[in-house]
Amino acid sequence: MKTLFPNEQSKVIAAYISVCILWGSTYLAMRIGVSDFPPELFGGIRFFIAGLLMLLYARLRGFSFPENLTAIRRQAVVGLFLLLGGNGLVVYTAQWVHSGVSSLLVATVPLFMAIIELFVPGRPRMDLKGWVGLMIGFAGVALLVFFNAHTGSVDLLGAALLMVASLSWAIGSIYSKSVPASGSMYANLGIQMLAGGIGLSLTGLLMGEAARLQITPKALGAMLYLILFGSMLGYSSYGYVLQKWPAAKAGTYAYVNPPVAVLLGALVLGEPFSLGILVSTVTILLGVLLVQLSKITQVSPAAAVQHESRAME
């Protein structure tokens, strides 16, 4: 009997495509969800449930867990930077910033990572190509705001908050690479999501979102989609790809997510797709690519293997 995926490489490619589509669609799902559900509680409940499910999955599959409270605390800190600071601001701005534009602004995370790494000893440094990439990338952000401020797709406040979100995500990403980690990727992701979910839920309660809480079929459907497909299936697929491909190759999904988000936003919500968005998309992604290539060329083969091994743990 023939199988859907005749060989291992076909399975990897299918998982990679899943990551590109699923994580590109999360911006649309968040925007749909917060149209009825208060944003921080929406994100908090999502990640709290997803974190519990991921930890249960890790336990049932027999994956290793962090060896002590210090290791758990480190993963919790990562989750707070990534999900409370990063995703929390993304879901908050989803109330008025269009999903495609939001994905493009979040694509600047590697630019902030490159800037932060300038001040971290032992991290790769940029050459001239990297600096040019930084300027091009942030020029793309300026173009995006300039071209779309009058359309209602984004405003200066939304763009500024999403830049802070990208910075928080970059800090969390670099911190996660700089501290020792124990336990499987799935157990650590579960701890991160659980910590982020608790942080977001508490933030929502402090902001008085409980008084605005209403569960509608549309919001519930968006949350279930994000839990099952955005978090569980998306992370599982990415983990599988990381096991089979080099980390740099697996990470190219980040270049596909923004076009997917822009396309879905236009098709499902009727968000405008203009020449300005197209030019901004190409400019931002070109800048990110140059920064990434600048860092890759300066990493020795031994360091590259070490980085790849850590990513696959």
pLDDT digits (tens, 9 = 90+) for 214-231: 889 999 999 999 999 998
Whether residue 6 has pLDDT greater than 80 = no
Could you give the CA distance from residue 265 to residue 268 in angstroms, rounded to a whole number? 6
Q: Do residues 80 and 195 lie in contact, with contact meaning Cβ atoms separated by under 8 Å?
A: yes
At residue 3, the pLDDT reads 52
The answer to whether position 194 is within a domain reads: yes
> Does 1 reside within a domain?
no
Which token pair is 156?
């200066």
Q: Which pLDDT score is estimated for 301?
A: 38
Is residue 266 over pLDDT 70?
yes
Confidence of residue 8 (pLDDT cuts 50, 70, 90): confident
Structural domain contains residue 203: yes
Res. 1: pLDDT tops 60: no
Output 273 or 70, whichever has higher pLDDT.
70
22 within a domain of the structure (yes/no)? yes
CB-CB contact of 32 with 156 (8 Å) = no
pLDDT at 297: 56
Estimate to the nearest angstrom the gap between the alpha carbon of 288 and the chain centroid: 15
The better pLDDT of the pair 259, 296 is held by 259
Return mean pLDDT, the chain: 87
* Rounded mean pLDDT, 16-45: 95
Please tell me the distance from the alpha carbon of residue 312 to that of residue 23, in angstroms, as a whole number.
20
User: Is 94 part of any domain?
Assistant: yes
What's the confidence (pLDDT) of residue 146? 87
The answer to which of 34-43, 123-132, 201-210 has the lowest mean pLDDT is: 123-132
- Taking 50 as the threshold, does the pLDDT of residue 303 lie above it? no
Residue of 25, 32, 50, 30 whose CA lies nearest to 40: 30
Query: 120-155 pLDDT, tens per residue?
Result: 777 767 788 889 999 999 999 999 998 887 788 899
What's the pTM value of the predicted model, to 2 decimals?
A: 0.87
Helices (H), the chain: 8-33, 39-60, 69-79, 88-93, 99-106, 109-117, 128-148, 156-178, 185-206, 217-225, 234-244, 247-250, 253-269, 275-296, 301-311
Summarize the confidence of residues 85-93 as an average pLDDT: 96
27 or 117, greater pLDDT? 27
- Helix, coil or strand: residue 265: helix
Continuous segment of H or E residues that includes residue 83: none
Q: Amino acid letter at 270?
A: G
Structural domain boundaries, residue 12: 8-311
Query: Using 50, 70 and 90 to split pLDDT, how confident is the model at 5?
Result: low
Q: Is the pLDDT of residue 304 over 90?
A: no
User: How many domains does the chain contain in total?
Assistant: 1
Q: Is residue 2 part of a domain?
A: no
Q: How far is CA 215 from CA 42, 44, 223, in A?
A: 10, 14, 10
Tokens of 134: 């930084």
Q: How far is C-alpha 49 from the chain's CA centre?
A: 18
Q: Which residue has the tokens 């980690």?
A: 181
Within-domain flag for 3: no
Which range in 21-30, 148-157, 253-262 is most confidently predicted, on average pLDDT? 21-30
Nearest Cα neighbor of 288 from 140, 120, 97 is 140
How close are the terminal C-alpha atoms of the chain, in Å? 34
Is 57 a domain residue?
Answer: yes
**% of the chain exceeding 90 in pLDDT:** 62
Which residues lie below 8 Å from residue 174, measured CB to CB, with a gap of 6+?
113, 116, 117, 120, 123
